[in-house]
């Protein structure tokens, strides 16, 4: 289908046709009115988020939710949403939710023609690496990551010159260009396992200096780190955590391993976003201090009402927050922004991601 009339309706902001739009066609922009029909058809979804989305906001979200869910069928598309996406995306339009590793694995299993990444750019690149023949869209390509931006492929080549023969492990929070230069990838849920799987005394571990230190605390393998940091997690401090603990000694503190080691040390548990969710659901603590990105507490709270109370010293990830319902809708209407990776570079980058997945 090639219907460019939708573009003509919005002459004020006429987007250029992407290659994906030429292949799939542009669809008409759906009507976004809040009607009794929209209210009825989205009522079951509002039930899932009513604890964290006020009733006054739902009439703004619901027309987008309905339109996106209809368009997904038309496009044979799936939406992969990271645990840091806002509750209306996470609960109402996502087909798959999870941490970086889960999203990477599920991307590989998808049978859809189109993958829309609810997350940041490196995640969309990972989906494209594992699905070279599918169309991968990111609703806003400016959704970056301070870790991914802290290192380039040229930096990795220099590290290899400085430490000849030392294998390089890259956190998935890196560009495809960096993944193409390294031996294997890891995520926060398998970093220790990946480091120890190499059977060597020393590894280069990049780019997160804090994740590197947190892994170093658990292994005899000597870790050479890079000076990158997550701009969200590096802001938490142990003093802040201890103040919460002094106010309520029974509070359970759980932190992401991108936090500085002093924060992890005063926590009761540290793990990937999926591991943190699992911890809350299985251990059912009464009060939890969730030391990570803000939306995660909202997303867990919808499922643990009346069981766990969340105290939120949270910070927002400005990159994750670039992904919104209106941008997801535009993504599906105009088939933008398509993630394209040079084939030769993708081949090399895929190897390091696949090597991690093959570890199981
Ligand atoms: P997870 O793999 O734990 O979801 O972490 C990804 C991320 O970007 C955390 O800041
Ligand atoms: Fe990157 Fe930190 Fe945002 Fe995760 S939370 S995407 S590591 S900047």
Q: What percent of the chain has a predicted confidence (pLDDT) above 70?
A: 96
Residue 6 banded pLDDT, cuts 50, 70, 90: very low
User: What per-residue confidence (pLDDT) applies to 10?
Assistant: 40
C-beta neighbour count of 285 within 10 angstroms = 20
User: What per-residue confidence (pLDDT) applies to 9?
Assistant: 40
User: What per-residue confidence (pLDDT) applies to 150?
Assistant: 98
Q: Which residues contact 226 (CB under 8 A, 6 or more apart)?
A: 150, 151, 155, 159, 204, 205, 206, 207, 208, 209, 212
Residues 325-331 have a mean pLDDT of 98
Average pLDDT value over all residues in the chain = 93
With a cut of 70, say whether residue 1 has pLDDT above it. no
Q: Whose CA is nearest to atom 3 of ligand 2?
A: 317
Q: How far is the CA of 159 from the centre of ligand 1 (A)?
A: 25
Q: How far is the CA of 337 from the centre of ligand 2 (A)?
A: 20
User: What per-residue confidence (pLDDT) applies to 218?
Assistant: 96
Q: Whose CA is nearest to atom 2 of ligand 1?
A: 100
Residues 43-56 have pLDDT tens digits of 999 999 999 999 99
- The region of weakest confidence among 182-191, 252-261, 304-313 is 304-313
Residue 59 banded pLDDT, cuts 50, 70, 90: very high
With a cut of 90, say whether residue 356 has pLDDT above it. yes
- The region of weakest confidence among 60-69, 98-107, 265-274, 345-354 is 98-107
With a cut of 50, say whether residue 4 has pLDDT above it. no
With a cut of 80, say whether residue 17 has pLDDT above it. no
Ligand nearest to the CA of 146: 2
**Probe residue for ligand 1, chosen from 273, 275, 292 as the CB with the greatest number of ligand atoms within 8 Å:** 273
Q: Domains of the chain (ranges plus CATH)?
A: 3-143+320-334 (3.40.50.10800), 148-230 (3.40.50.10800), 233-311 (3.40.50.10800)
Residue 210 banded pLDDT, cuts 50, 70, 90: very high
Residue 120 banded pLDDT, cuts 50, 70, 90: very high
Atom number in ligand 2 closest to CA 317 = 3
What's 135's DSSP letter? Answer: E
| pTM over the 0.85 mark | yes
Residues with CB under 6 A from ligand 1: 83, 99-100, 173, 187-188, 230, 256, 258, 272-273
**Probe residue for ligand 2, chosen from 98, 210, 233 as the CB with the greatest number of ligand atoms within 8 Å:** 233
Residue 211 banded pLDDT, cuts 50, 70, 90: very high
Ligand nearest to the CA of 172: 1
Residue 7 banded pLDDT, cuts 50, 70, 90: very low
Q: Which residues contact 85 (CB under 8 A, 6 or more apart)?
A: 94, 97, 118, 119, 295, 299, 320, 323
Q: How far is the CA of 11 from the centre of ligand 1 (A)?
A: 38
User: What per-residue confidence (pLDDT) applies to 12?
Assistant: 47
Tokens representing 228? Answer: 């990158």
Ligand nearest to the CA of 271: 1
User: What per-residue confidence (pLDDT) applies to 279?
Assistant: 95
Q: Whose CA is nearest to atom 7 of ligand 2?
A: 230
SS3 content of the chain, % helix, strand, coil (to 5): 45, 15, 40
User: What per-residue confidence (pLDDT) applies to 13?
Assistant: 52
User: What per-residue confidence (pLDDT) applies to 307?
Assistant: 84
Strand blocks (E) in 100-160: 114-118, 135-137
Q: What percent of the chain has a predicted confidence (pLDDT) above 90?
A: 86
Establish how many alpha carbons lie within 13 A of residue 58's alpha carbon, considering only the half-sphere containing its beta carbon.
Answer: 21
Q: Whose CA is nearest to atom 8 of ligand 1?
A: 173
**Probe residue for ligand 1, chosen from 127, 143, 148, 187 as the CB with the greatest number of ligand atoms within 8 Å:** 187
Residues with CB under 6 A from ligand 2: 120, 145-147, 173, 230-232, 258, 293, 317, 319-320
Residues 126-171 have pLDDT tens digits of 999 999 999 999 999 999 999 999 999 999 999 999 999 999 999 9
Pairing of strands 269-270, 252-255: parallel
């Amino acid at each position: 289908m090639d219907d460019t009339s939708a573009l003509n309706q919005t002459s004020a902001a006429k987007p250029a046709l992407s290659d994906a739009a030429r292949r799939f066609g542009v669809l008409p922009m759906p009507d976004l009115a809040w009607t009794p029909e929209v209210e009825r058809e989205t009522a079951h979804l509002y039930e899932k988020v009513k604890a964290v989305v006020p009733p006054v906001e739902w009439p703004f979200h619901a027309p987008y939710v309905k339109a996106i869910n209809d368009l997904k069928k038309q496009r044979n598309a799936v939406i992969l949403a990271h645990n840091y996406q806002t509750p209306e995306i996470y609960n109402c339009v996502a087909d798959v939710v999870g941490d970086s590793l889960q999203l990477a694995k599920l991307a590989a299993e998808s049978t859809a023609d189109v993958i829309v990444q609810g997350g940041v750019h490196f995640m969309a690149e990972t989906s494209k690496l594992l699905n070279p023949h599918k169309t991968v869209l990111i609703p806003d390509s400016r959704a970056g990551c301070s870790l991914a931006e802290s290192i380039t492929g040229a930096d990795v080549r220099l590290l290899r010159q400085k430490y000849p023969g030392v294998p390089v492990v890259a956190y998935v929070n890196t560009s495809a260009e960096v993944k193409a230069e390294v031996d294997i990838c890891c995520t926060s849920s398998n970093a220790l396992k990946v480091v120890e799987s190499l059977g060597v005394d020393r590894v280069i571990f990049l780019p997160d200096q804090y994740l590197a230190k947190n892994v170093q605390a658990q292994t005899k393998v000597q870790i050479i780190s890079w000076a990158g940091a997550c701009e969200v997690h590096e802001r938490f401090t142990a003093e802040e955590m201890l103040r919460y603990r002094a106010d309520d000694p029974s509070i359970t503190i759980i932190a992401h391993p991108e936090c500085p080691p002093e924060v992890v040390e005063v926590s009761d548990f540290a793990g990937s976003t999926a591991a943190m969710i699992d911890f809350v659901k299985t251990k059912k603590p009464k009060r939890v201090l969730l030391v990570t990105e803000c939306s995660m507490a909202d997303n867990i709270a919808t499922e643990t009402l009346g069981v766990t109370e969340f105290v939120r010293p949270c910070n927002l990830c400005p990159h994750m927050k670039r992904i919104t319902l209106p941008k997801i809708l535009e993504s599906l209407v105009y088939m933008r922004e398509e993630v394209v990776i040079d084939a030769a570079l993708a081949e090399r980058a895929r190897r390091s991601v696949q090597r991690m997945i093959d570890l199981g």
